[in-house]
Structure 1
């Protein structure tokens, strides 16, 4: 007589409770246009920036949208750049460049700055003070086709 013994082991890992990070958080917005460039372009090109910054995680996630970015003349987006510190009527030094390619004159993209691309202490201070701006750069306008001053608002 053969006896088959089947052993079944159920393993369970007990996890802890999920905890909300008690961190200062900000919404970050901007309305961008070609006229905000220094010097400005006399066009109707425009865009938006809507983001979220978590101070403890030191990460910024955002969506940039644009419309009618080059009218009838075809162009290609090559990057979004961040500059600062600088006020709305002045140019500042380049802080970050995020390359991406798009041939759409109207669209949006989700991007982020985190980890090794996060902020240093000085960059965070300038960024949270509203002294950063972004540009969308194209092949025809490598220094920017639109610009928008970033406005962080504490939640």
Structure 2
């Protein structure tokens, strides 16, 4: 009986093993964000930011928009603020009804010193809040929050918009 001998080309075998490892690791999930399955996400209405919405109203050429979502599980607002024709000196979320000034609830701070020329507010500003308290969540979802953009010309606020869902 004759026996066959097989020669193994280690270069081909190594290449095949490396290719297989790339295929298997290529299927790994690259998503670095934490996703909470079945998280309830509330879409907040897009809000026009205007001087007419200020309390009292101001006459300005500046405009802006607010877009955001609220995650009921993490209690975090993820948002984008855009603005034109304004150099913001400060931005905040406030508690207050339409036409009524109210206290700051959450500052919008793009860095350690929003007044520094090294750290200006830049449009679009994409950010998120720290987790809200239960009371803040109730106020937000009841439409009792507004966003306010301040400037040196209007230190009490140049642009405002009521946040609703």
TM-score higher than 0.5: yes
- After superposition, the Cα gap between the structure-2 partners of 1:128 and 1:139, relative to the gap in structure 1 and judged at 3 Å, is same
What CA deviation, in whole Å up to 9, does each residue of 1:35-61 have, x standing for no partner? 100001022321100111110011111
> Is the counterpart of residue 89 in structure 1 residue 99 in structure 2?
yes
Secondary structure of 2:69's counterpart equals: strand
Query: How many residues are aligned here?
Result: 126
Secondary structure of 2:52's counterpart equals: helix
- After superposition, the Cα gap between the structure-2 partners of 1:103 and 1:125, relative to the gap in structure 1 and judged at 3 Å, is closer
Structure 2 CA distance for aligned equivalents of residues 139 and 44 of structure 1 = 14
Match of 1:138 in 2: 151
CA-CA distance at 1:143 after TM superposition: 1.7
Match of 2:137 in 1: 124
Quick check: which has more Rg, 1 or 2? 2
Match of 2:4 in 1: none
Secondary structure of 1:34's counterpart equals: coil
Structure 1 CA distance for aligned equivalents of residues 35 and 100 of structure 2 = 43
Secondary structure of 1:65's counterpart equals: strand
Structure 2 CA distance for aligned equivalents of residues 47 and 68 of structure 1 = 9
Higher strand proportion (structure 1 or 2): 1
Match of 1:39 in 2: 56
Gaps of 5+ in 2: 1-33
Check whether the contact 2:60–2:158 (CA below 8 A) recurs between aligned residues. no
Match of 1:148 in 2: 161
Structure 1 CA distance for aligned equivalents of residues 155 and 128 of structure 2 = 21
Match of 1:25 in 2: 41
Higher helix proportion (structure 1 or 2): 2
